Amino acid sequence: MRFDPALREGILLRRYKRFLADVKVGKHVLTMHCANTGAMHGCAEEGSRVWYSTSKNPNRKLSSSLEFVQTLQGYEVCVNTARANQLVHEALLSKQIRQVANHSDWSREVSIPGERGRFDFGSDNVMLEVKMVSWLRKGIGVFPDAESVRATRHVQALEQCAKRGLRAILFFCVPHSGIDYLTIAKDIDPSYEVAVREAMSSGVEVLAFRWNISPRDWKLDSEIPFQLPN
DNA sequence: TAGGATAGCAAACGTCATTG
DNA sequence: CAATGACGTTTGCTATCCTA
């Protein structure tokens, strides 16, 4: 993914009301959209360097969007949850994901077979759900950062697909320069951990890939290991 | 009646499918 | 082809219900 013009820089003053962030740009304070309603552990600290994009869409109330943060520890982390799907979409179409490189015809937002809701991507006999990881805790990347009934439901739906003979993939998009190993935050949501464990034993595949991000281009870096907690 | 629990909604935006 | 609707994203506020 390439940004042209390049993303612009500011200093995060505060993130509030779920979708809003105040950013100091030069002498001015810009209120922008923050498409991330999550906890944003470690990546919403006051004083962090942040980068944002600007939209030309006249219907938008806030023309700027927060894109990524440099944490106080110096790591670059994407905070725009919409980017995760875009990054994965690009990677799928350009066949950078070797596990599914034999598929070309990816559809977005495909209905979950047999129930309400959607998976992020589908192709032939493959269902793929994307989750973005942005939390580096004690040197290890973890997901989720909050209890999430919906995330658990998605995993269980993937398991149902696997049991019916489809390929079902839980895909962790990791746009965080400091994460090179991923696990599940069992303490945050024990039922999610159980759901992933059971899904994997039913044949659901779990993949995790890291992206490098910068003001101008975001590139797929490498696959990173995923392991269930002990 | 005060308090807790819970369900529903709204916040800003993107994307896809359907409708006119 | 443009407009509209549904859905996804999470949290916290508010209205409503139940219990001590």
Read off the pLDDT of residues A152-180 as tens digits, 9 standing for 90 and up: 777 888 888 888 888 888 888 888 899 99
Calculate what percentage of chain A has a pLDDT beyond 90: 7
User: Quick one: pLDDT at residue A114?
Assistant: 62
Given a cut of 70, is residue A185 above it in pLDDT?
yes
Mean pLDDT of A112-138: 77
A215 CA to C6 C1' in angstroms comes to 34
A116 CA to B17 C1' in angstroms comes to 15
Rounded Cα gap, residues A66 and A60, in angstroms? 14
Given a cut of 90, is residue A5 above it in pLDDT?
no
Which nucleotide, over all strands, has the C1' atom closest to the CA of A112? C7
User: Quick one: pLDDT at residue A136?
Assistant: 85
Question: Strand, helix or coil at A110?
Answer: strand
Calculate what percentage of chain A has a pLDDT beyond 70: 88
* Range A153-185 burial, b when 16+ CB lie within 10 A, else e: bbbbbbbbbbeeebbbbbbbbbbbbbbbebbbb
Q: Tell me, what DSSP letter sits at residue A57? A: -
Closest residue, CA to C1' of C10: A37
Q: Chain C bases under 7 Å from protein CB?
A: 7-12
Closest residue, CA to C1' of C11: A18
Q: Residue for token digits 């959209």?
A: A33
User: Quick one: pLDDT at residue A227?
Assistant: 92
Rounded Cα gap, residues A103 and A58, in angstroms? 37
Of residues A110, A151, A134, A178, the one with CA closest to residue A39:
A134
Number of helices (H), then strands (E), belonging to chain A: the values are 3, 15
Given a cut of 70, is residue A194 above it in pLDDT?
yes
- Per DSSP bridges, beta strands A205-212 and A219-223 are antiparallel
Given a cut of 70, is residue A132 above it in pLDDT?
yes
Mean pLDDT of A117-124: 75
A13 CA to C7 C1' in angstroms comes to 32
A58 CA to C4 C1' in angstroms comes to 18
What residue ranges define each of the domains in chain A, with the CATH number in brackets?
8-78 (2.40.50.580), 82-223 (3.40.1350.60)
Structure-block tokens of residue A157: 């739906």
Mean pLDDT of A1-23: 79
Which nucleotide, over all strands, has the C1' atom closest to the CA of A34? B12
User: Quick one: pLDDT at residue A135?
Assistant: 84
Q: Chain B bases under 7 Å from protein CB?
A: 10-17
Q: Of the spans A85-94, A113-122, A142-151, A156-165, which averages the highest pLDDT? A: A156-165
Rounded Cα gap, residues A35 and A64, in angstroms? 11
Which tens digits make up the pLDDT trace of A22-38? Answer: 888 888 888 887 877 66
Residue A58 pLDDT class (50, 70, 90 cuts): low
A149 CA to B1 C1' in angstroms comes to 34
